[in-house]
Amino acid sequence: MEIIIQPDSQHASQIAARIVARLVREKPHAVLGLATGNTPLQLYRNLVLMHRESGLDFGGVTSFNLDEYVGIPPTHPSSFHSYMWAHLFSHIDMTKDRINIPDGLAADIPAYCRFYEQAIRSAGGIDVQVLGIGTNGHIGFNEPSSSLSSRTRIKTLTDESRLDTAAGFGGHEGVPTHVITMGLGTIMDSKICLLLAFGKKKAKAIAKAVEGPVTAMVPASILQMHPRAVIILDKDAASELKMADYYTWVYEHKPDWQKH
């Protein structure tokens, strides 16, 4: 794993944006895996700025989002569809039919999940998968105890995850109980995994995911098995890492050709 510790989320998000932008420049038909939540907001803001100010072209890019709530329409203000259009897709030149977000209203969910997996394969697989991490160590909505080789499927949210998203649904009770999420096996098939985490409340989950054992109880820990997992943190999210000084030294002494 490459662990990059930055003074704040702004610097961290700039590095993440450079990684995504470089891919899109080098591979105009790149396939991006996208995440929602507070964490990637600054990354998306940077990508929008790069599109506006330096013509970063998303016209050939395909995207797949990690997850969506079951039972709410795409127009719901707290759906991940709404989030993605509000924060990214309305501001860049993505082609609408290359945007893929799980359909929370799918009538036959298992068939839909198989279709989603096939669509990722048909697009050539995900080049870079953007990830946040839950306070319980989830990535996507793969809650603790998720199979480490799971594929896209329906999951039941934990209470912790429902509390974390309560604000968008007028309180805990209003949060949907189920989601469709890419599985850990789906995420692991991505060529690069780019996990961002900011703030003290993520420090424990990050310490377990990066320096603890690989376990289904901390789903993000499966990234230890990924050949190209880049973990970009602010100081607070890195505050419980035992080897933080080493990671910082490594990053500062990278050969030029390896820098992001």
Q: Least distance to ligand PGA from the beta carbon of 122, Å?
A: 26
Q: Least distance to ligand PGA from the beta carbon of 4, Å?
A: 17
Q: Least distance to ligand PGA from the beta carbon of 31, Å?
A: 20
Rounded Cα gap, residues 122 and 106, in angstroms:
20
Rounded Cα gap, residues 13 and 8, in angstroms:
9
DSSP 113-147: HHHHHHHHHHTT--SEEEE---TTS-BTTB-TT--
Contact set for ligand PGA, span 21-80 (CB under 6 A): 37-39
Q: Least distance to ligand PGA from the beta carbon of 110, Å?
A: 24
**Contact code string over 117-136 relative to ligand PGA, x by CB under 6 A:** ---------------xxx--
CA distances from 107 to 79, 103, 104, 113 (A): 17, 9, 9, 11
Phi, psi of 3 (to 5 degrees): -105, 120
Rounded Cα gap, residues 198 and 133, in angstroms:
9
| Total count of residues recorded for the chain | 260
Residue nearest to ligand PGA (CB): 37
Rank residues 56 and 223 by Cβ distance to ligand PGA and give the closer one. Answer: 223
**Residue 139's Cα: distance from chain center in Å?**
7
Rank residues 37 and 144 by Cβ distance to ligand PGA and give the closer one. Answer: 37
Q: Least distance to ligand PGA from the beta carbon of 161, Å?
A: 7
Size of interface with ligand PGA, in residues (CB under 6 A): 7
**Closest CA relative to residue 196, chosen from 213, 214, 181, 209:** 209
Rank residues 95 and 177 by Cβ distance to ligand PGA and give the closer one. Answer: 177
Residue 219 in the binding site for ligand PGA (CB under 6 A)? no
Rank residues 102 and 132 by Cβ distance to ligand PGA and give the closer one. Answer: 132
Rank residues 38 and 90 by Cβ distance to ligand PGA and give the closer one. Answer: 38
Long-range pairs for 242-249: beta carbons < 8 A, 24 or more residues apart: 242/207, 242/211, 243/3, 243/211, 244/3, 244/5, 247/3, 247/4, 247/5, 248/5
Q: Least distance to ligand PGA from the beta carbon of 115, Å?
A: 24
Q: Least distance to ligand PGA from the beta carbon of 133, Å?
A: 6
Interface with ligand PGA by CB under 6 A: which residues? 37-39, 132-134, 138
